[in-house]
């Protein structure tokens, strides 16, 4: 296949580039580098089947030649990024998705849109099944990401229904691993960075809020299986093993062998109280389930962070 990956220099995007090149496909990586980084793809620059295009997907995009598949992964994804870049976040989820869908229509390519567990907002149903419609504050600081992704899902289904494009929507739950930025702001890089530097681990709120963490290779496997499937409705991809943030901080302390203390700071506005994917659908229809335990995945991530610090 000849595949376009928007946000291909980002955290998950760059792992997707590796994966498709490894399977012998041609990959065009498009990124405007506002949160992605050239370093994530620098090892691929000499690959004959790889091409990098620095471009903003919210402006009109065109690609010479055929395309078989598009994966739209461009977007700020860390709360500190989308709160700092609210308009870019809204535009990449709306105008960017529109452009990606238009290109898929023109090229008769299938397209997979990266959505998120944030479409469920601060969920009132737990764990979250794909049939749950969510509890999102449209005008809160997180609304820029949540509503952009909800719009992305809506326009994707409209293109599927009206233009009969083969569309897919993956709802990605918290994913971590190599290539997350040290100062990404999300809980995994924050805690690992703090623990390795001997600084206090910053828990927001009382630490009783929960998250469920998936290692990047598992998330990428789920995405590839969804792309290769016949499904057009959204599918949750994530690891259901759920921890409170306080429990998670203690895991990081243990795995880094760190003497860092824990400090409590203010909880950000609209921070979801619980989150755990119901992955029944992915298990049944994609024959996918996560394989890497938190201990193993966090262990690999710590190793990578040690090299970067
Ligand atoms: N969090 C925390 N300390 C940090 C960073 C995050 O306690 O240094 C909390 C955050 O408030 C949230 C959870 O960890 O409850 C996960 O945050 P993250 O930014 O990783 O992503 P989210 O799941 O909220 O999108």
Is the domain of 203 the same as that of 114?
A: no
pLDDT for the residue 59: 97
Please report the DSSP string for the chain in residue order.
Answer: -EEEEETTTSHHHHHHHHHHHHTT-EEEEEE--SS--GGGGGGGTT-TTEEEEE--TTS----SS--SEEEE--S--SHHHHHHSHHHHHHHHHHHHHHHHHHHHHHT-EEEEEEEGGGGBS-SSSSBPTT---B--TTSTTHHHHHHHHHHHHHHHHHHHHH---EEEEEE--EE-TT--TT--SHHHHHHHHHHHTPPEEEETTS--EEE-EEHHHHHHHHHHHHTSS--S-EEES---EEEHHHHHHHHHHHHT----EEEEPPPTT--S---B--HHIIIII-------HHHHHHHHHHHHHHH-
Instruction: Kindly report the number of other CB atoms within 10 A of residue 8's CB atom.
Output: 30
191: domain CATH number is 3.90.25.10
Is the domain of 219 the same as that of 271?
A: no
The residue whose C-alpha atom lies closest to atom 6 belonging to ligand 1 is: 187
Q: Is 186 in the pocket of ligand 1 (CB under 6 A)?
A: yes
Is the domain of 150 the same as that of 246?
A: no
41-61 per-position pLDDT tens digit: 999 999 999 999 999 999 999
pLDDT for the residue 250: 98
What is the pLDDT averaged over residues 231-239?
98
Is the domain of 20 the same as that of 165?
A: yes
Is the domain of 147 the same as that of 58?
A: yes
Give the number of domains in the chain. 2
Atom of ligand 1 nearest to the CA of 190: 8
Residue 101 near residue 37 (C-beta atoms within 8 A): no
The residue whose C-alpha atom lies closest to atom 16 belonging to ligand 1 is: 187
In a domain, 132, yes or no: yes
265-295 per-position pLDDT tens digit: 999 999 999 999 999 999 999 999 999 999 9
Residue 281 near residue 235 (C-beta atoms within 8 A): yes
pLDDT for the residue 69: 98
In a domain, 181, yes or no: no
Is the domain of 38 the same as that of 122?
A: yes
Confidence band of 89 (pLDDT split at 50, 70, 90): very high
Is the domain of 265 the same as that of 172?
A: no
Q: What percent of the chain has pLDDT over 90?
A: 100
Q: Is 304 in the pocket of ligand 1 (CB under 6 A)?
A: no
Is the domain of 218 the same as that of 129?
A: yes
163-178 per-position pLDDT tens digit: 999 999 999 999 999 9
In a domain, 299, yes or no: yes
Instruction: Kindly report the number of other CB atoms within 10 A of residue 6's CB atom.
Output: 32
Is the domain of 166 the same as that of 258?
A: no
Q: Is 276 in the pocket of ligand 1 (CB under 6 A)?
A: no
Confidence band of 210 (pLDDT split at 50, 70, 90): very high
Q: Is 187 in the pocket of ligand 1 (CB under 6 A)?
A: yes
What is the domain range of residue 16? 2-176+214-239+277-286
What is the pLDDT averaged over residues 227-236?
98
Is the domain of 151 the same as that of 205?
A: no
Catalytic residue list: 145
Is the domain of 149 the same as that of 18?
A: yes
- Ligand 1 centroid from CA 63, angstroms: 37
Q: The whole model's pTM is what?
A: 0.98
109: domain CATH number is 3.40.50.720
CA distance 201 to 196: 10
60-72 per-position pLDDT tens digit: 999 999 999 999 9
Residue 105 near residue 159 (C-beta atoms within 8 A): yes
Q: What is the mean pLDDT of the chain?
A: 98
pLDDT for the residue 46: 95
In a domain, 43, yes or no: yes
Confidence band of 264 (pLDDT split at 50, 70, 90): very high
What is the pLDDT averaged over residues 74-84?
96
Closest by CA to 111, choosing from 61, 64, 52, 157, is 157
């Amino acid at each position: 296949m000849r595949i376009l990956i928007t946000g291909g220099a980002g955290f998950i995007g760059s792992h997707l580039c590796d994966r498709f090149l490894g399977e012998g496909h041609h990959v065009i990586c498009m990124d405007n580098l506002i949160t992605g980084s050239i370093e994530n793809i620098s090892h691929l620059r000499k690959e004959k089947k790889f091409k990098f295009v620095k471009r903003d997907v919210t402006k009109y995009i065109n690609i010479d030649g055929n395309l078989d598949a598009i994966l739209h992964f461009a977007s700020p994804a860390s709360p500190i990024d989308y709160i700092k870049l609210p308009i870019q976040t809204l535009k990449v989820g709306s105008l960017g998705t529109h452009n990606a869908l238009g290109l898929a229509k023109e090229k008769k390519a299938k397209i997979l849109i990266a959505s998120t567990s944030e479409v469920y907002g601060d969920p009132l149903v737990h764990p979250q099944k794909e049939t749950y419609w969510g509890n999102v504050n449209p005008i809160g600081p997180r609304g820029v990401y949540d509503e952009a992704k909800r719009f992305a899902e809506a326009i994707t289904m409209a293109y599927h229904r009206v233009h009969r494009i083969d569309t897919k929507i993956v709802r990605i739950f918290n994913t971590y691993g190599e290539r997350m930025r040290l100062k990404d702001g999300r809980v995994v890089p924050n805690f690992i960075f703090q623990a390795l530097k001997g600084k206090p681990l910053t828990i927001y709120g009382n630490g009783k809020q929960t998250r469920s963490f998936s290692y990047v290779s598992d998330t990428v496997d789920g995405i590839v299986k969804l792309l290769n499937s016949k499904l057009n409705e959204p599918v949750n991809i994530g690891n259901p093993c759920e921890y409170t943030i306080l429990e998670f901080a203690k895991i990081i302390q243990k795995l880094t062998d760190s003497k860092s203390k824990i400090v409590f700071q203010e909880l950000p506005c609209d921070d979801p109280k619980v989150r755990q994917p119901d992955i029944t659908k992915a298990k049944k229809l994609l024959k996918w389930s996560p394989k890497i335990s938190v201990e193993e995945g966090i262990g690999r991530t710590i190793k990578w962070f040690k090299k970067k610090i």
